[in-house]
Structure 1
Amino acid sequence: MKGMSRKKKRGAEDADEQPEGNHPFGALDGLGKLPSGPEAAPPIAPVKTSKRGQKNTNRGRVDIVRQKAGRGGKAVTIVKNFKGIGLPEKQELAKKMRKACGVGGTMKDGCIEIQGDKRDEVKRILEEAGFNPVFSGG
């Protein structure tokens, strides 16, 4: 095993070999008594500002209905009676509902239709969006 060398382990012996001038905190010893850090300030209460830019948490009531009539015995969850909401936002909500429920769905006559009895999942999504969902009908 000639020619191969082993690396030295750095330990307590190497710490003694370091010159005094290279110690990074050596200069702090000569400063004497230093003041402590900043005092903990009391927490500042958040200032109420306008609601512009924040999500509306009270967007009105929407009805969630389960229908089976005229659908060959298959249940469909219908969300209707949206007030003050545009078509693009309804389509975005429908997309979220379809994805969360793992089923198909569509928009018909301003209502969102989701395949299957998915009322609980639809209610959770509508509450997150700031609506007040209510189960109504069959």
Structure 2
Amino acid sequence: MDLQDQLKNLFPDHIPENTDSAEEKSPTYWMQEEPILCKYEKRKGKPITILEGYNGADKDFKALTKDLKTLLGVGGSYKKDIIIIQGDYRDKIMAHLKEHGFAVKRVGG
């Protein structure tokens, strides 16, 4: 007897909601006209990818940063209207942002 059967025995009148999330919701971000600048730097000998030029709200920065970190499986942060991702992932980040409708411009190398 699994957990679902036990719950049905305890609460026979309960009608469970559909919790199937087969369709993942694509996060919605604030879109802008200007391109986001994607550049590569080394700080203290470690490579980082910097995204500049996004002028969304604070919650949009937080959502976009979290989405990119989850996509790449790396660390990162956002400070003072700049998103910093650990590692050189310019190509993957640019492809992901273009899928979501952003204009992206590669700066340097």
- The answer for unaligned runs of 5 or more in structure 1 is 1-54
Aligned AA (1:82): Y
Distance 1:73 1:116 in 2: 11
- Within a 5 Å distance, the mapping from 1:2-21 to structure 2 comes to none
Same amino acid, percent of matched pairs:
32
Choose 1 or 2 for highest CA Rg: 1
CA deviation after TM superposition for structure 1 residue 137, in Å: 3.0
Q: Does 1:79 align with 2:48?
A: no
Secondary structure of residue in 2 paired with 1:75: strand
User: How much is the aligned-residue C-alpha RMSD, in angstroms?
Assistant: 2.3
CA deviation after TM superposition for structure 1 residue 121, in Å: 1.4
String of CA shifts for 1:62-92, please: whole Å, max 9, x gaps. Answer: 1001011xx2211100000113x11111110
CA 1:135–1:88: 2 relative to 1, 3 Å: same
Q: Does 1:93 align with 2:64?
A: yes
Question: TM-score normalised to the size of structure 1?
Answer: 0.53
Higher RCO (CA 8 Å, separation ≥ 6 residues): 2
Q: Which residue of 2 is the match for residue 44 of structure 1?
A: none
- The answer for unaligned runs of 5 or more in structure 2 is 1-28
Runs of 4+ in 1 over 3 A off after TM superposition: 55-59
Secondary structure of residue in 1 paired with 2:98: helix
User: How many equivalent pairs are there?
Assistant: 82
Secondary structure of residue in 1 paired with 2:50: strand
Distance 1:93 1:56 in 2: 10
CA deviation after TM superposition for structure 1 residue 57, in Å: 7.1
